[in-house]
Amino acid sequence: MAVFDNKTSLLRLGPLLDLSFSHICVATFDYHQTSVFPVNILLALTRDEGKGDEFITIPSEGRREPLLADHVYFVPCELEVRFDISPAITTLAFHFNLTFLHGLDVFSGAKNWEMRRDPALAARLAALANETKDELKAVCALKAEVMNFCLSRWPEGLDRLTPAARQYEPLFRHVREHGDAAFSVGDLAALAGRRQDVFSRAFSRDIGKSPQEFLHNDLLKKIAARLLLPGASVKEVADWLKFSSEFYLSRFFKKRTGISPREYQAKFRR
């Protein structure tokens, strides 16, 4: 009976775990910026003709490592990072979120990033990113590669978080489908049928972040993904997400990421 219950639980959790990409590119570009991204970043270097002045830096650790060919690098979402990249290196970049319960990224709050020499993985990722014959199969294989990478560095504590977070799944789904700049913590509490102060305390205890942080993170992910759509303007994104103006969206985004919406588009929209 216990085995059956466990299988039932796994089947219920399966549809609540989602791996989605907001940006994939193989490119050479000049980028020197300190930012906090609402997405997880997996980098692989396939060409390195640099002069040794390409680095990845994590300010909170005071740690700086070179960007080298045949290496892969992983930076979890919400972790401040600086990239110093020159056109002398070819960078394969994946921006993705691995979310469960429609809203919580598996790596949210994670502080550990990774640098790994893995020529085989770098080559496989590059081949899949350049696949043109069977793109659907390539996406499936790419998701498998990224998921396997995530499994290799799975954060601790999620097994304790999952049971408490399950009660919020309908709220997370609502925010994913309808959340925008006009949606407030009060709206979230009303959906839960609880007083705002009581709801906020319970949410912070169960999820490990405040409802306001959760809503801001969701909004940042939506802005970042929308900004990268072909032809999308900052004003159109602001209107879509119900910001009162383009100015307020830009201020919101830059305050939390360190990069303006137009800079984000210029660097990552391909």
**126 in any annotated domain:** yes
The answer to whether residue 108 is domain-embedded is: yes
Q: Residue 40 — left, alpha, or beta (φ > 0 → left; ψ -120 to 50 → alpha)? A: beta
Domain count, the chain: 2
Q: Is residue 8 part of a domain?
A: no
Domain that holds residue 184: 158-268
For residue 33, the domain's CATH number is 2.60.120
Q: Mean pLDDT in the chain?
A: 89
Tell me the average pLDDT across 177-194: 96
Could you give the percent of the chain with pLDDT greater than 90? 61
Q: pLDDT tens-digit profile of 56-82?
A: 999 988 889 999 889 999 999 999 999
Tokens of 173: 């789904």
The answer, yes or no, to whether residue 25 has pLDDT greater than 90, is: no
Q: What is the pLDDT of residues 209-219, one digit of tens each?
A: 999 999 999 99
> Domain with 179 in it: what CATH number?
1.10.10.60
* pLDDT tens digit sequence for 76-118: 999 999 999 888 888 899 999 999 888 889 999 888 899 999 9
DSSP H helix total and E strand total for the chain = 11, 10
40 and 66: one domain?
yes
Tell me: do 22 and 138 sit in the same domain. Answer: yes
* 33 and 146 fall within a common domain: yes
Joined tokens for residue 243: 């910001």
119 and 191 share one domain: no
Pair (178, 203) in one structural domain: yes
Q: Is residue 4 part of a domain?
A: no
Q: In the 8-state DSSP scheme, what is residue 107? A: T
65 and 43 in a common domain: yes
- The whole-number pLDDT of residue 4 equals 42
For the chain, give the longest Cα–Cα distance: 62
Give the whole-angstrom CA distance, residue 96 versus residue 20. 6
Residue 50 contacts residue 89 (beta carbons within 8 Å): yes
3 within domain boundaries = no
- 165 and 96 housed in the same domain: no
CB 98 within 8 A of CB 153: no
224-to-165, 187, 201, 249, 266 alpha-carbon distances in Å? 25, 23, 29, 11, 12
What average pLDDT score do residues 33-50 get?
Answer: 86
The separation between the first and the last C-alpha atoms of the chain, rounded to the nearest angstrom, is 52
